[in-house]
Copies of this chain bind each other. A is one copy, B any other.
Amino acid sequence: MTNCYLGIDAGGTSTRAAVVRADGTCVGVGRAGSGNPISAGPDHAAAQVLLATRHALEDAGIGADRMVGGIAAMAGSRVARHADWLNDPLHEAGIGISLTLEPDLLAAFLSATPQPDGYAVVAGTGAVAVRVRGFELEAVTDGLGWLLGDAGSGFWIGHQAIRHALAALDGRAPASTLTDALLESLELDPEAPAEVEGRPGAIQHAVDLLYTWRPVELARLAPLAFTAAQAGDPAAVEIVDEAGRALRAALTSMLVPEVSGPLVFGGSVLTQQPAVASAVAAAVPGQEPLLTSDGLVGAAVLALRRGGVTVSEATFDRLSETIAARRN
């Protein structure tokens, strides 16, 4: 009978669970819906964490009595500091351990490295940079949401690209390939109808359509900017460059001399756009950025560490490999 630890990575879209041994071997993984108590509500979130946990225990073929500790990583763990909303339903369902809450950004960092100190920049729909020290989140910048921050994020890039595409169509900015790319992605005809009340008809159709989206969904169109920038469109190049500068400024604001690295990048803007990643990584000379997709490995690292288990490089490598293998 080996003791096991439970790592939960609770995101806004899905919740992932891993059951791991102290040597880093993952024996089971599970998955469920949104486990974020702010966006999904605490009852729904707790139910999804419980479901992901059950799936992981089934996958491992072990009972809940084998679990000796665990953590749940999630955004907004500040406002959900008390975990009763999560642990009470777990206990009622016969899972006796009490999960502690950890920041999802710390789990993201520790998904790429077992080091106690370093930096992470995550730029997906949103954008945030953090400094990690002694396995704790020491400082955070941005992550202020699409309206007030998230400079350089997928939303920011998509929003700027759409605004520029419409301004060009409207005659207020130089012509750009972003315009045709936008109309094509919205399946609108750039030619007809020629004019609606003194402006190109396509503008009114695009605007009417885009205002039916939730604002944050403009992030979907960030790829238009990357494609146009690669083809040399000056406006798109400027938008992508500006995103890189904004993310670099966020990272730079986190730097202190005592922490040199590692540097961890997450989110599609940084993991799928090498040009942006290079521009941002240049802020920390000599550090090749480590990429991470989600925080499940880091959640498992934290589950072990908070349970008193030292996570060596060998243990970390085993966690990474066995979690990846179980997920496939």
Measuring CB to CB, which residues of chain A are less than 8 angstroms from any residue of chain B?
78, 103, 130-131, 137-142, 144-145, 147-149, 151, 159, 162-163, 166-167, 170-173, 196-199, 203-204, 207, 210-211, 215, 218, 246, 249-250, 253
Contacts and interface: CB of A to CB of B under 8 A. Distances in A.
B141 A171 contact: yes
A163 B148 CA distance: 5
Nearest to A248: B172
A76 to B, nearest CB: 10
Contacts of A210: 147-148
A141 B169 CA distance: 10
A48 to B, nearest CB: 24
A149 B172 CA distance: 10
25 contacts: A78-B196, A78-B204, A130-B198, A131-B198, A137-B197, A137-B198, A138-B198, A139-B199, A141-B170, A141-B172, A142-B172, A144-B203, A145-B207, A145-B211, A148-B162, A148-B166, A149-B166, A149-B167, A149-B207, A151-B167, A151-B172, A172-B249, A172-B253, A173-B249, A215-B215
B149 A163 contact: yes
A218 B149 CA distance: 14
A280 B27 CA distance: 67
A248 B166 CA distance: 17
A137 B215 CA distance: 30
Contact of A147 (B196, B203, B211): B211
A200 to B, nearest CB: 10
A82 to B, nearest CB: 15
A30 B46 CA distance: 58
A38 to B, nearest CB: 12
Contact of A199 (B141, B163, B170): B141
Given A149-B163, A163-B149, A170 B144 contact: yes
Contacts of A215: 147, 215
A144 B207 contact: yes
A211 B145 CA distance: 9
Given A131-B198, A140-B197, A151-B167, 4 more contacts: A140-B198, A141-B199, A142-B172, A172-B253
Contacts of A207: 144-145, 148-149
A167 B151 CA distance: 9
Contacts of A199: 139-141
Nearest to A252: B172
A250 to B, nearest CB: 5
A11 to B, nearest CB: 18
A210 B210 CA distance: 23
Contacts of A137: 197-198
Contacts of A138: 198
Nearest to A77: B197
Contacts of A203: 144
A84 to B, nearest CB: 20
Nearest to A215: B147
A210 to B, nearest CB: 6
